[in-house]
Structure 1
């Protein structure tokens, strides 16, 4: 175990198996925690190179938890441990004598984390065998999967990405760290993070529903879907036909070398201009409309504006055609360098295998190389969150061999057992933490909105004149800005700067999304932060940053670009010729915000021990690796990257697949004990041992009876069978009205809130913050997002300005109270 790391004083028992639990344990080990992986006799259940990657930096100990001796050894370790992680089905740890009450009896200050598939208190889902795809299917991840698939009439669509485990691991890891930080004030805690709840939260932007949503914010694809529904037309577009509905500044182009090049340069002032200038199409700018879009569309001088998504129908074709021709004049690597230097967000499309050998990924430490005793030189995903000045971040040890831990075990057992030090206080883990939020769009604001649920006081600082259009700032902000207060300042003015640094002096944490160059332009350097307050923590999130500098470190980027660069889009689309964005808004954005919270949790824990602040980091590219964790490794002799991909994917094979039942679609998951699974059901028992055409035969059998029949047939077994839900259906089934008072977030797996008294003047449905369920700490359900600038006067008064000074700042443009007359311009 390395000393002087952020978590080198923390010991973790990792009972996790498969993906979510081991992933959480790996994140803690990557910060220097001493993580002990507990294996059953016979070794880990998941024997895969990915599991070895997730075991890096851990010790391994084999214990038979079904025996009295094994349980007693486990409890002896718990007495000397800070954190316990497990992701068994609900009730398993209790049956083993290691449930939360038993753990707390031997160590009152233990922080225990449970990561079940569905909530243990959910009478409908708690007993369902929660394989990754079963969670995804029931929540709605495979249904209506993106605008492309809907327009092509493809439903359902399967994806092998472990989104539920990734979101759950990030929520779980941040919660453990926040609970550790508050332990002296609040004592130990048991935390449950149902993976399905985490998945719904991670896909919140696909569940958002706004009453009478204005047409101006609907993309051409959304409008085409509505037109076809209105006119009774089928959704039967071909992939090529879809290009007519893609925005010129939000799509893939083909370069001279045949590689796809993806740009996401819409919605932000100057980004479309930069794109056209890089492509040599600057003359077009004189012909394109550009004006303030924070007014109602009825007051626009043209049908679209260059700074607002989407491009209008009058210019969409000619822009796309001109850009297609321009991209064909250079190879993708030249365009990547030119776009990066011009600060125009874009990237070449790559496969996962290509990303693992990409020069930037390796140079920046987003991909690391480890000498593994089984696989030789192994490339694998790097840290998913890190501290900028942690010297051990890049030091990785290969996964453990079982039972190599005996000397350390003897040392641990000689330690004095932990004694209770917590005061058993009430409230949230982050009560009193003052956060200054400088972020925009989705990923960055997710940090502050997440911290607010745990008690942090979050102040959002935005510019006097918006740099992002209302679709990104207001529509996405309905969720991302909940629980905050809002001030508008011009940080380019002297008065705005002075007010800003007064806020910095009072803050405990600053959050920003931007590159190192952008951070330097705000003068938020490490030295300056130390001068203002050596305990201050800056949380920095960007697209391509890593523990080290790389050739793309200062390139700009967004969620979709991380998908394109790390291999998500080529996998989902089925290959380099047909890449598709992965269906869901914020697939990586929200996760990166959660990972940034993990980094903050580690920084807070180090601050508690050493008094040292610093810079906590996360990146979209790292989160893009995290959602592909089970594939994000390579070595000589690795089996082919052959996971399910493309538009026709329905699953991994006959025992892990979407099937059409008599009355709808279901997911059937029996990856282990396959013959036993078939043998227990009379309708299928004759297929035991069948090899030929099994997928076809199972398709015929499942189609003969309704979904309910099959769920009853496999109930109580290790086989997971569930109806394919939809995200909107899952949201609506768990919907509660804000006007009715207290929102119940503790029992059911899925909960959503209708903010029916929203200051926007429309109701809005949003997923409730119920992925994290502590036993002791409180969770705050934040109120509606503020109108930008609504708290400017209040905040300036708090900073010591008088009313005359505040009015002068507003009159001179150093501060402002709004961007638009309406909350949401129509």
Structure 2
């Protein structure tokens, strides 16, 4: 295996975080080659294990599998003194710890950044929470929906004549996971230079607010801040989706040259000289009139026909594809964004790949998502505990392995 494609090979991550933002950080670190160990509660483990829309009882949900492939699992009760001691022992040779509890929770358990850095000064301790680690709302919990609402994202999303909507994907969770990974890698570079670890912090609020670059510029510049524009852009026109004979087409008229080509392709070169549309400022002020004309013209052909014509002329355009169309497209596969990974129930499943290449390639983690506590014995054994000691800890309800793992071992 080319280690250039797995630059974090040998790095050990303890993932105390759960559900989405933290596990996405862990998934990205695993795809970079790190060993990621989920430290889970028992018996249900990560709450996301229960997010199952398949209807099959006992099945590991596909959503959980998608962001927890390539990881191991130890089930440990860190609320007990012995469980806490075991975790701190694991911290001694760990490189990264991630957690997403409310601010102060880990400190009250004696497992805050100061506690863990005292055990391992080189540790990178990563915290992800709802509203941030300081400020008047720091102690409030929050999910993706709540922080998208608080940050203003929902306020500017949707059609002008309808109620605000949440974007169809959990933007705050996903971006918080990416930011946590970025912070981890930055702290790792710092550690390579200095030998010291540090506390990395991000939040769903920070991850949501980051999307507001255009709107922040308008707000702080004293201009009017638009609320809901549908698919339109706040400072560029034409830049939105338009209605074709069989669906919607996204079109990006980012400058005067592209706009002139658009007008010519749709059969109305005179539009580029129309005083309402002559300049970028004019087009923005008359966006609704322009959209009505564009819809009328584009309804004459299919989205595929228009996409071909616009693309041939160098105009950025795409059909509005369904999720299935996008994931099945050869281009999506060509860039490695759909991969085959092991399925929890056996065999292989298709899932989202790792979005970064090194010299044109990457080596994403493809081992299946773990059962709760599947690797408890293995991980504690690596800490020097023998079978009798591990059995005693399990009898004391300090650590656990799932019944599924026990049954599998008994049948062998």
TM-score over 0.5 (shorter chain)? yes
Aligned to 2:326: 355
Aligned to 2:46: 44
Q: CA deviation at 1:211?
A: 4.4
Instruction: Check whether the contact 1:336–1:346 (CA below 8 A) recurs between aligned residues.
Output: yes
SS of structure 1 residue aligned to 2:13: strand
Q: Mind listing any 5+ residue stretches in structure 2 that lack a counterpart?
A: 52-61, 385-412
Kindly indicate which of the two structures has a greater share of residues assigned to helix: 2
User: Deviations 1:507-532 (Å, cap 9, x if unpaired)?
Assistant: xxxxxxxxxxxxxxxxxxxxxxxxxx
Distance 1:27 1:14 in 2: 12
Distance 1:197 1:312 in 2: 30
SS of structure 2 residue aligned to 1:182: helix
Aligned to 2:408: none
2:93 alignment partner, one of 80, 97, 117: 80
Instruction: Check whether the contact 1:24–1:172 (CA below 8 A) recurs between aligned residues.
Output: yes
After TM superposition, list the pairs within 5 Å mapping 1:236-255 onto structure 2. 249-255=238-244
Instruction: Check whether the contact 1:27–1:385 (CA below 8 A) recurs between aligned residues.
Output: no
Instruction: Check whether the contact 2:237–2:283 (CA below 8 A) recurs between aligned residues.
Output: yes
State whether structure 2 residue 292 is matched by structure 1 residue 331: no
Distance 2:334 2:313 in 1: 21
User: Deviations 1:724-772 (Å, cap 9, x if unpaired)?
Assistant: xxxxxxxxxxxxxxxxxxxxxxxxxxxxxxxxxxxxxxxxxxxxxxxxx
Distance 1:312 1:196 in 2: 30
State whether structure 2 residue 212 is matched by structure 1 residue 203: yes
2:283 alignment partner, one of 288, 308, 311: 311
Q: CA deviation at 1:170?
A: 1.9
After TM superposition, list the pairs within 5 Å mapping 1:415-814 onto structure 2. none
Q: CA deviation at 1:403?
A: 3.2
RMSD: 3.6
Instruction: Check whether the contact 2:40–2:373 (CA below 8 A) recurs between aligned residues.
Output: no
After TM superposition, list the pairs within 5 Å mapping 1:392-431 onto structure 2. 392-393=363-364, 396-405=366-375, 409=379, 412-413=382-383
Q: CA deviation at 1:130?
A: 1.9
SS of structure 2 residue aligned to 1:85: strand
State whether structure 2 residue 138 is matched by structure 1 residue 166: no
Q: CA deviation at 1:320?
A: 5.0
Distance 1:13 1:367 in 2: 26
Q: CA deviation at 1:346?
A: 1.3
SS of structure 2 residue aligned to 1:120: coil
Instruction: Check whether the contact 2:263–2:270 (CA below 8 A) recurs between aligned residues.
Output: no
Instruction: Check whether the contact 2:157–2:167 (CA below 8 A) recurs between aligned residues.
Output: no
1:263 alignment partner, one of 251, 257, 261: 251
Aligned to 1:89: 102
1:367 alignment partner, one of 334, 338, 355: 338
User: Deviations 1:694-715 (Å, cap 9, x if unpaired)?
Assistant: xxxxxxxxxxxxxxxxxxxxxx
SS of structure 2 residue aligned to 1:62: strand
Distance 1:314 1:137 in 2: 29
Structure 1 pair 246–329 and aligned structure 2 pair: CA distance change class (3 A): farther
Distance 1:377 1:351 in 2: 23
Distance 1:36 1:318 in 2: 54
Aligned to 2:70: 57
Aligned to 1:6: 7
Q: CA deviation at 1:203?
A: 2.2
SS of structure 1 residue aligned to 2:153: coil
Instruction: Check whether the contact 1:248–1:320 (CA below 8 A) recurs between aligned residues.
Output: no
Aligned to 1:298: none
Instruction: Check whether the contact 1:15–1:87 (CA below 8 A) recurs between aligned residues.
Output: yes
Q: CA deviation at 1:51?
A: 2.1
Structure 1 pair 156–366 and aligned structure 2 pair: CA distance change class (3 A): same
Q: CA deviation at 1:37?
A: 1.1
User: Deviations 1:72-119 (Å, cap 9, x if unpaired)?
Assistant: 221121111111101011122123321111111111100100011123
Instruction: Check whether the contact 2:263–2:271 (CA below 8 A) recurs between aligned residues.
Output: no
State whether structure 2 residue 343 is matched by structure 1 residue 343: no
User: Deviations 1:288-330 (Å, cap 9, x if unpaired)?
Assistant: 349xxxxxxxxxxx66535x25527789857853x44553444
Instruction: Check whether the contact 1:38–1:63 (CA below 8 A) recurs between aligned residues.
Output: yes
Number of equivalenced pairs: 368
SS of structure 1 residue aligned to 2:314: coil
State whether structure 2 residue 386 is matched by structure 1 residue 378: no
Q: CA deviation at 1:2?
A: 8.7
Instruction: Check whether the contact 1:372–1:378 (CA below 8 A) recurs between aligned residues.
Output: yes
SS of structure 2 residue aligned to 1:115: strand
Structure 1 pair 38–310 and aligned structure 2 pair: CA distance change class (3 A): farther
Instruction: Check whether the contact 1:247–1:310 (CA below 8 A) recurs between aligned residues.
Output: no
Aligned to 1:194: 203
Q: CA deviation at 1:65?
A: 1.0
State whether structure 2 residue 17 is matched by structure 1 residue 16: yes
Q: CA deviation at 1:38?
A: 1.1
Distance 2:2 2:380 in 1: 18
Distance 2:284 2:97 in 1: 54
Distance 1:319 1:94 in 2: 55
User: Deviations 1:387-408 (Å, cap 9, x if unpaired)?
Assistant: 3444414x62321223333575
Distance 2:129 2:85 in 1: 24
User: Deviations 1:353-385 (Å, cap 9, x if unpaired)?
Assistant: 433333322333223333412386533322243
Aligned to 1:111: 124
Aligned to 1:148: 159
Distance 1:19 1:408 in 2: 25
Distance 1:324 1:138 in 2: 34
SS of structure 2 residue aligned to 1:392: coil
2:141 alignment partner, one of 115, 129, 133: 129
Q: CA deviation at 1:14?
A: 0.7
User: Deviations 1:321-355 (Å, cap 9, x if unpaired)?
Assistant: 3x445534443234334433432111111233433
SS of structure 2 residue aligned to 1:59: strand
Distance 2:76 2:158 in 1: 49
Instruction: Check whether the contact 2:283–2:290 (CA below 8 A) recurs between aligned residues.
Output: no
Aligned to 1:182: 190
Instruction: Check whether the contact 2:276–2:282 (CA below 8 A) recurs between aligned residues.
Output: no
Aligned to 2:272: 288
Instruction: Check whether the contact 1:80–1:412 (CA below 8 A) recurs between aligned residues.
Output: no
Q: Mind listing any 5+ residue stretches in structure 1 that lack a counterpart?
A: 226-234, 291-301, 415-826
